[in-house]
Structure 1
Amino acid sequence: MSAPVDSAAVACLRRDEYVSQVATYRHEFRTWLRELDWADEWRTAAFDNVEDELVFHSTILARLYEAGWNRYGWPEDAGGFGGTEVHRAAYFEELAAAMLPVPEQHWTLEVIGPATYRYAPHLAAEYLPNYLRGAEWWGQCFSEPESGSDLAGLRCRAADDGDGGFVLNGQKIWTSQGPTATRFMVLARTGTPESRHRGLSTFLVDADTPGVTVRPIALASGRRELAEVFFDDVRIPRERAIGDVGGGWAVVMYLMQYERGMYGYAVLTTALTELGRLRAEMVVHGASPANRERFAQIYVAVVAAQARAAKTVRALAANQMVGPESSIDKLLFAKAEKDINDLVLDVRRGWMLTGVGADGDKELDTARAKWWYTRAATIMGGSAEVQRSIIADHLLGLPKEKR
């Protein structure tokens, strides 16, 4: 691959203009994508395993970073060029409009990056530039085998070592991109078990630290996207704490608004890309009236969800804390992911189930893997039932459920 150097040079020269005028940034990023001589390679790339996909996407990120386009919306002292979350939203929109897949590393970066910069700017300055250029990516170690979404019940413990650091012991599970992650953001208990959410702290732990063991989890698709991570007497320097010791819950709450907001907005732009591809298939191969009606309903739902998520993006860009309202975003984008892939299965059933008419094994494997992965869309990151309870309790003020 080779990036259009002249365009990249122009982009760097016009940094101030792009920061102050999102419309200018959007227009010229769109032009850059249109003129990209390796766009088709990016657009049509398919893989039968996560490891190769991440390596390919790291190359994409390196070129985007070199040209500067994925650095807008991130602070300058963390490898960015400045701007706000609105720049990042425009970035995802333009990738979708060009029918280009979002580099996989963005899914974890959009969740972990903002919290790291907010609560540990020294770590963000040291490591986020590498994240942006695809040289490394991290895993989020929150869930545990017996606590799931109940983060206040975590048992993974970081004990004071008496020398200014901590010793970490415990297990985490369902860590996205964990098998190949360079570092982990780990939520651990530093207080008593009775302290619940008030006794939690967050740390950045290198994957190659002695005592860290990573075991990939094979999904139903066969892909090793997730991992369980074990910590056995892992020593952590005090400067690796993200936020205050005992202040991990604040980090989690800050992080969650990005997991529901920016991550969700990117999911919805990707949903439009998937719908665009599906529409082309339906035009070429035909579809039943019922499936055409489902397509229209899902499209309207995605656009409505994107409009709702845009409000969250604007709030984040204005440095406003997004509270329980983000549960609405989570419900809408998770359902959209699942509905689209169910429709893909129904419209292309012969291809998805038997491979009839498949142009390549990797493309088929990718489509099947997406369907399998979206089975968890309404569970991971907080189940749909939990989100509805939050909305009922904190937004609608409905009576508490009787137990």
Structure 2
Amino acid sequence: MTAPHQPHEPHEPEAFRTALRAWLDENDLSPGDDHSLQGQMAQFARVQRALYDAGWSRYGWPEHAGGLGGPPILRAIVGEEVVGRRLAEPGPYSMLEVLAPTMIDYAPTDLAAEMVPRLLSGEEQWCQGFSEPGSGSDLASLTTRAVRDGDRWIINGQKVWTSFAQYSHRCILLTRTGDADTPNHEAITAFFVDTDTPGITVRPLQTMHGVDEFCEVYFDDVAVESTRMLGRPGDGWQLAMDLLPFERSTCFWQRIAYLYSRFDALIGEVKADGQAVDADLGAAYLALHTLRCRSRATQHRLAEGHRLGADTSIDKVLLAGAEQQLYDAARNLMPGTIELEDTDWRTEYLYSRAATIYGGTAEVQRNIIARRLLDLGKE
């Protein structure tokens, strides 16, 4: 790996992007032939290690957590360039962008300083233990329980839809700690749990698009030290509310770059078949461009120090719509490909059907927009 082309003003976004592109042009981080999920995870770790050693993946993160400072938009630029070049897939990247800020904000300072560099450098992968079989969109009803036992907490329960749990070294886990009289939102506490702790069982789930990205995770008398609590007892709900906007801000930048790369690939296939660029592609491009403009505004609000909240539900609705519109266009323009051929287009089309479900359903997001942004009430 060559030394980075450090920009004269490392925190200025355009200079940063120009220098990063030059470095990526000189350093071959292309993925190998293993396109399995395990291969994708290994490739992501490889890319992160190279970016970390050269300094790129440390920009946009605070120095007390192993970063090099600068606005969060710098790390959005890194993700956009890396995923846009198809050097890494957006899924693993999203865990980094969601969980590292949470650790920095809620973990004890020494724990964050020790652990965050392991995630940024690709040394470790983490997962997010939120959803349960009976608590998906209604997160406040979760039942996984943590009971104090001296200086430890004993955890029992089950999580589901836990992305990449089978490859993860740690889990940011939500549990119930209050008594029967404690309101749901005040009874939730978060822990940072090592996934090799005795009593944890991980079972991958294969989805209809043929990838075992999601997992069930069981906790049977799992002992966690009190020093691994994130925040204080009862802070779990606020942690979750602070985490969710990160799912819809910086990490979206990578997914948008990925969708643009697939849009370009679709144009190439359509032209190769001798078809004209039609209204389906125009509508897909408009949806992508609208999403990117909205997400760009969100990146700048984050860079300016604004605290993100319910407004990011708009970003989530736009992402789900743009993703499904792109793959609907692919299905319409390449008749039979998705239905009859075992290609990436088929896998990605099937995955796109979940875009209005994962990360908060479209119905829930629209309710949030109506009630909290438009003040339309509950009816």
TM range (shorter): over 0.9
What's the counterpart of residue 186 of structure 1?
173
**Count of matched residue pairs:** 377
- Mapped partners of 1:190, 1:317: distance in 2: 35
Q: Is the CA contact (8 Å cut-off) linking 1:130 and 1:136 kept in structure 2? A: yes
Distance change in 2, residues 1:96/1:231 (3 Å): closer
Q: How far is the alpha carbon of 1:370 from its aligned partner?
A: 2.1
- Mapped partners of 1:380, 1:96: distance in 2: 20
Which runs of 5 or more structure 2 residues have no equivalent in the other structure?
A: none
What's the counterpart of residue 80 of structure 1?
67
TM-score, normalised by the number of residues in structure 2: 0.93
Question: Do residues 204 (structure 1) and 196 (structure 2) align?
Answer: no
- Mapped partners of 1:53, 1:313: distance in 2: 26
What's the counterpart of residue 275 of structure 1?
263
Q: How far is the alpha carbon of 1:347 from its aligned partner?
A: 2.7
What's the counterpart of residue 17 of structure 2?
26
Question: Do residues 394 (structure 1) and 372 (structure 2) align?
Answer: yes
Distance change in 2, residues 1:97/1:264 (3 Å): closer
- In structure 2, the residue corresponding to 1:342 is in which secondary structure? helix
Q: How far is the alpha carbon of 1:164 from its aligned partner?
A: 2.1
Decide which structure has greater helix share: 1
Q: How far is the alpha carbon of 1:352 from its aligned partner?
A: 3.4
Amino acid at match of 2:219: F
Q: Is the CA contact (8 Å cut-off) linking 2:90 and 2:258 kept in structure 1? A: no
Distance change in 2, residues 1:98/1:51 (3 Å): closer
- Mapped partners of 1:100, 1:281: distance in 2: 21
Larger displacement relative to structure 2 (312-321 or 144-153): 312-321
Q: How far is the alpha carbon of 1:75 from its aligned partner?
A: 1.7
TM-score, normalised by the number of residues in structure 1: 0.88
Q: Is the CA contact (8 Å cut-off) linking 1:57 and 1:104 kept in structure 2? A: no
Q: Is the CA contact (8 Å cut-off) linking 1:203 and 1:242 kept in structure 2? A: yes
1:320-340 deviation per Cα after TM superposition (whole angstroms, max 9, x unaligned)? 212211110110012112222
Q: How far is the alpha carbon of 1:237 from its aligned partner?
A: 0.5
Percent sequence identity is 38
Note the aligned Cα RMSD (angstroms): 2.0
What's the counterpart of residue 337 of structure 1?
323
- Mapped partners of 2:287, 2:90: distance in 1: 24
Which runs of 5 or more structure 1 residues have no equivalent in the other structure?
A: 356-360
Distance change in 2, residues 1:313/1:81 (3 Å): same
What's the counterpart of residue 287 of structure 2?
301
Larger displacement relative to structure 2 (61-70 or 205-214): 61-70
- In structure 2, the residue corresponding to 1:303 is in which secondary structure? helix
Question: Do residues 65 (structure 1) and 52 (structure 2) align?
Answer: yes
Distance change in 2, residues 1:93/1:223 (3 Å): closer
Q: Is the CA contact (8 Å cut-off) linking 1:34 and 1:98 kept in structure 2? A: no
- Mapped partners of 1:399, 1:32: distance in 2: 51
- Mapped partners of 1:205, 1:352: distance in 2: 40
What's the counterpart of residue 346 of structure 1?
332
- In structure 1, the residue corresponding to 2:189 is in which secondary structure? strand
- 1:115-130 equivalences under 5 Å are 115-120=102-107, 121-130=109-118
